[in-house]
Amino acid sequence: MKVLFVCLGNICRSPLAEAIFKTKAKKIGLSDTFFADSCGTANYHIGDSPDQRTLKNARKNGVEIAHIGRQIAKKDLTEFDRIFAMDRFNLEAILRLAESATERSKVKLIRDFDPIETGDVPDPYHGNEADFQEVFSILDRTIDNLMMNLIK
Ligand code: 4NP
């Protein structure tokens, strides 16, 4: 199963979601079941490494990120089975690229799987360490639930 995580810049939230997902899949022996990737709807950070604050916060939480920024393309909607947007703005941007009901049905807000509170994963780009940690906590619990949902 191919799973894609999408934010705006592809340097903070979605590369973290991808790395958390891969770390959890590995922990439960399902690395070969899933292919996970991430991208941004914007073109600002194509070719860039993730934000240093995201890398540092992820490492503090036991997650290593290996990703280079890329922008979403129409073919992602055909190639991936499930596409998870970090917020409603990016959900709408992804849906504008969809060309069929099948493609549209693959796209969901990631926090639809948050067991505590639904909505957007807040953009931490202009925030501080507490904001990066909040993003980590949201994604950590949400991806636990998401993965259970994908394998059941
Ligand atoms: P991300 O965060 O969408 O979680 O990667 C952002 C990164 C960069 C910018 C905005 C959000 N930016 O405006 O450059």
Q: What are the per-10-residue average pLDDT scores of the chain (152 residues)?
A: 98 99 98 98 98 98 98 98 98 98 98 98 98 98 98 92
Q: Which member of 12, 13, 51, 76 is catalytic?
A: 13
> At a CB cut-off of 8 Å and minimum separation 6, what does 11 contact?
40, 45, 48, 49, 50, 51, 54, 69
CA triple 50-20-91, angle to 5 deg = 75
Q: In this predicted structure, what is the pLDDT of residue 63?
A: 98
Tokens representing 12 are 């903070």
Please indicate whether residue 12, judged by its CB atom, sits closer than 6 Å to ligand 1: yes
Q: In this predicted structure, what is the pLDDT of residue 83?
A: 99
Q: Which amino acid is at 42?
A: A
Please indicate whether residue 120, judged by its CB atom, sits closer than 6 Å to ligand 1: no
C-alpha of residue 15 to centroid of ligand 1, in Å: 11
Alpha helices by DSSP H, the chain: 13-27, 52-60, 74-79, 88-97, 101-105, 129-151
Q: In this predicted structure, what is the pLDDT of residue 91?
A: 98
- Decide: 8 and 40 in contact? Cβ < 8 Å: yes
